[in-house]
Chain A
């Protein structure tokens, strides 16, 4: 497979120079430096949790785009479209399952990534700011999951979001205003569905991508994976 005429048109010889080129000349792999500390590649050090969180985000984006083709953010239609995924759309149910379980798994991996970073003391100088960015990413992940929770518009979605957003209504002084802005009304209804839909498919992904870019950039700038214990 590495000889000339293979998928590598001019062949691939395994030399340190070529290994560097694989990373340097490829925008997709260029999130990584050419070389990393030896302990950083041990599975038991990072457990791949940060990388898996990012991968799950990509998986959720792909499955989410698929789901958007069949979804209308309007009051009875949202439920009808979601139910129709399992009958009218090829692989519709599987993709919806992947999206939902992937989302729950992403909340878990992001949280575990945070605990892993804490126990390695990897938030210490010079990485303090990147920890703060990470906390913002955790919050955005939770908000993405929460806004997505409403979209199937079934009893589970409606009442889980009602209970969840009631908590925001307890904000001192501005409680009613916060609740009104969040829900687009006094209670969870059609305008809430549209609001959460726009947040879920556009606003929050936009924000989280910006914060992820800063997060990954700072990982490299701050010296890559933190030192061995």
Chain B
């Protein structure tokens, strides 16, 4: 009788075990997830940190040159302050890169937003300025920014 009970219990246990999916380790689960997301692209993954930092430096340098060369132009003063703030944001982003690119998302988004506002401002008030320096400087900053943006975002909008 007791043997019968034991067999019955073992049979039930097997049924229960078969009914549940096999336990998967976290690594397996993660691997499966990664395989299902092969086309995801991590921003900045194709550019080295030093490369992005270099592009930020170039952009900051262009900003500084632009501000200095247009320092005496009255209409430029407000724009220059905004440019300075943009430069500060870029500097902050550059220093933040040291902690890893993943943590710089907010700073990067902020920099992009500030650039877009600056571009709008420039287009609305300074794009037809008679002094060529005002337009040339911004054109050069725009080129530098495009390089930085492409390196930092891979051409994706964040």
A interacts with B: no
